[in-house]
Chains A and B, each alone.
Chain A
């Protein structure tokens, strides 16, 4: 008998019927649960390999622990959310996102574990100051000055801190959320509101933001 062809993908697709078995009972359900966990563990390892540079200082055995923790938490999330799966995507894509999310959050937090997070709203003031030559062109200098005014006068202290931490200091949002006892969603809402205020103030001051990406 000819064995089935090995999938060429880095992470093989789950077999047909996995979803039905997860929703069912009996021995097939137990086997499906093991299959799902293995699938999530492969996805967690996939994410850790992608983020290897951020974990260069972490021991190899700790990588395995991180992947297993991520897979375990993703498994719990998938099983809890299973009744909500409506088939808007392939089941594998839906399940993988939980494992990737859990692994990515762990990577970001681990990478920053020994780093102090110093919120420095004034760090933004250095943007552009060291630029030479063309950076001093009137239009760019004028826009930078207007942004500085809008940040200083139009935003609350919390909005200023979050905006600068996430966009200028490059502190990952999951790390900032952990240190501030907040959530990714709550911090992004703060960032979103701050950006809307900045845009409104700049537009009111006559700056053309249409040409700016994204």
Chain B
């Protein structure tokens, strides 16, 4: 295990520092977040609690990546 791996583990253990949305709230607003990312590009600034949740919740982060990829019309 490298130093980077350890730091990642610590980050995952401690999660985001600030206030964050719940999983339910994340789902409710994920579409607006993604559309804002694609159109205005300022979703993280406009919806910081949702952005924090995406950093702390791997499942919601995957859902976000998929929706963003679909809306942008490309898959990995």
Chain A residues in the interface with B (C-beta under 8 A): 7-11, 43, 46-47, 49-50, 88-90, 92-94, 96-97, 100-101, 104, 108, 124, 127-128, 130-131, 134-135, 140, 143-144, 147, 163, 166-168, 172-174, 184-185, 188-189, 191-192, 195, 198-199, 202, 209-210, 212-214
B66 close to A47 (CB less than 8 A): yes
Scan residues 4-25 of chain B and give those whose CB is less than 8 A from a CB of chain A.
Answer: 5-7, 9-17, 20, 22-24
Q: Which residues of A contact B1 (CB under 8 A)?
A: 127-128, 130-131, 135
Closest to A141 in B: B6
Among the listed A8, A90, A140, A213, which residue makes an inter-chain contact with B11, where contact means beta carbons less than 8 Å apart? A213
Q: Which residues of A contact B12 (CB under 8 A)?
A: 167-168
What string of 1s and 0s marks CB contacts (under 8 Å) between B18-59 and chain A? 001011100101111011000000000000000010011111
Top 10 closest pairs, chain A to chain B, by CB: A9-B73, A89-B31, A195-B15, A214-B55, A167-B12, A88-B32, A89-B35, A93-B31, A94-B31, A89-B32
Cα of A126 to Cα of B8 in the assembled complex, Å: 14
Among the listed A89, A131, A213, which residue makes an inter-chain contact with B6, where contact means beta carbons less than 8 Å apart? A131
B73 close to A11 (CB less than 8 A): yes
How many residues on the B side are at the interface (Cβ–Cβ under 8 A)?
43
Closest to B73 in A: A9
Q: Which residues of B contact A134 (CB under 8 A)?
A: 3
Q: Which residues of B contact A192 (CB under 8 A)?
A: 15, 20, 22, 56
Give the secondary structure class of A's interface: helix
Cα of A39 to Cα of B16 in the assembled complex, Å: 35
Q: Which residues of B contact A124 (CB under 8 A)?
A: 13
Q: A168-B12, A173-B58 are in contact. Are A93 and B63 (CB under 8 A)?
A: no
B20 close to A173 (CB less than 8 A): no
Q: Which residues of B contact A213 (CB under 8 A)?
A: 11
Cα of A214 to Cα of B58 in the assembled complex, Å: 13
A-B contact pairs, 26 of them (CB 8 A): A9-B73, A11-B73, A46-B69, A50-B75, A50-B76, A88-B29, A93-B35, A94-B31, A100-B63, A101-B63, A127-B6, A131-B2, A135-B1, A135-B6, A147-B14, A163-B13, A168-B12, A173-B59, A191-B56, A192-B20, A192-B22, A195-B15, A199-B15, A210-B17, A214-B15, A214-B52
A140 close to B23 (CB less than 8 A): no
Q: How far is the CB of A134 from chain B (nearest CB, A)?
A: 5
Q: How far is the CB of A118 from chain B (nearest CB, A)?
A: 19
Closest to A172 in B: B59
Q: A43-B70, A97-B31, A195-B15 are in contact. Are A127 and B9 (CB under 8 A)?
A: yes
